Copies of this chain bind each other. A is one copy, B any other.
Amino acid sequence: MQRAVVLLSGGLDSATTLAIARSEGRECHCLTVDYGQRHRVEIDAAARVAAALGAAGQRVVRLDLAQFGGSALTDPGIAVPQAPTPGIPVTYVPARNTVFLSLALGWAEVLGAHDLVIGVNALDYSGYPDCRPEYVAAFEQLASLATARGVQGERFHIHAPLQHMTKAQIIRRGIDLGLDYGLTHSCYDPGADGQPCGRCDSCILRAAGFVEAGVADPIAVPAPSPRT
C-alpha cells in the first residue's frame, strides 16, 4: 500500500478526502493540527473519522497560531460572520494551509511517503487564497525542492481530490463511499456544548450542500434564531 499523509481537520471535506484516499487503497497517516481554532471540537471529530475509516495512524500537532491572530478562527476579538461576505472572509487564517502542508511534508519525508492529501475545494476557492489550484501546484513544486528526498530525485505529489467538486458532489461521493457525516464537524463557531451554530459560512455551505445532494445531514443543526 502506498503511504500518504492526509490533512484531517475533522470537517466534511477532509473526512471525504480521507475516504477517497482509503478507497484508492492508500495507507493513510492523518495529520490534525490543534492551532488554537475556536472550533477546537473538530479535533475530536478528526479522531473519530480517522478511526472509523481505518487510518494507519493519526497525529495531533499542537501549534498556537492564535498568538499571531489576524483571523476570526483564532482571535476571539474578531467575530465569525453570520452570513457569507464578499472577498476573502475574515475566517481566513494567514498562511494556514502552507503551515499545514509543510508539517505534512516533514512527516511524509520521515514516513517515506510521497503523497500528501488535502481537502481544498472549488467552493473554498472563491474565498481562500491557499485553496486555489495554482497554490497547490506551487506547493507541489516547492516540496521537491525543499526536501532531502526531492534532491535525491524523488517527487512529492499534492492530491486535492475535491478541488473541482461542489459541496453537493463531495457529499454524494462520501455517501457512496459509506462515510458517516455524523462523525464530522463543520461549524466555525460552535456553542459550549459543541453544537453547530447554523449561521456561519461553514454551516451555511454544509447545509446548502446537503440540500442540493438531496440527503439529510445526520448532524442536527438547530434552526438559526437571532442571538441575544
Which of A's residues lie within 8 Å of B, judged by CB? Answer: 59, 61-65, 67-70, 88, 92-99, 101-103, 105-107, 109-110, 129-130, 132, 134-135, 138-139, 141-143, 145-148, 150-151
Beta-carbon contact of A145 and B151 below 8 Å:
no
Beta-carbon contact of B106 and A147 below 8 Å:
no
Oligomeric state, in copies: 2
Contacts of A146 in B (CB 8 A): 95, 97-98, 129-130, 135, 138-139
Q: Which of B59, B65, B141 contacts A106 (CB 8 A)?
A: B65
Q: Which B residue's beta carbon lies closest to that of A139?
A: B142
Beta-carbon contact of B94 and A99 below 8 Å:
no
Beta-carbon contact of B65 and A63 below 8 Å:
no
Separation of A129 and B67 alpha carbons in the complex (Å): 29
Separation of A68 and B112 alpha carbons in the complex (Å): 12
Contacts of A92 in B (CB 8 A): 148
Q: Which B residue's beta carbon lies closest to that of A98?
A: B102
Contacts of A150 in B (CB 8 A): 129
A5 to chain B minimum Cβ distance, whole angstroms, is 10
Q: A102-B98, A106-B96 in contact; A61/B59 too (CB < 8 A)?
A: no
Beta-carbon contact of B70 and A61 below 8 Å:
no
Beta-carbon contact of B64 and A62 below 8 Å:
yes
Nearest 3 A-B pairs (CB), nearest first?
A95-B106, A70-B110, A94-B109
Separation of A225 and B188 alpha carbons in the complex (Å): 58
Beta-carbon contact of B148 and A94 below 8 Å:
yes
Beta-carbon contact of A99 and B103 below 8 Å:
yes
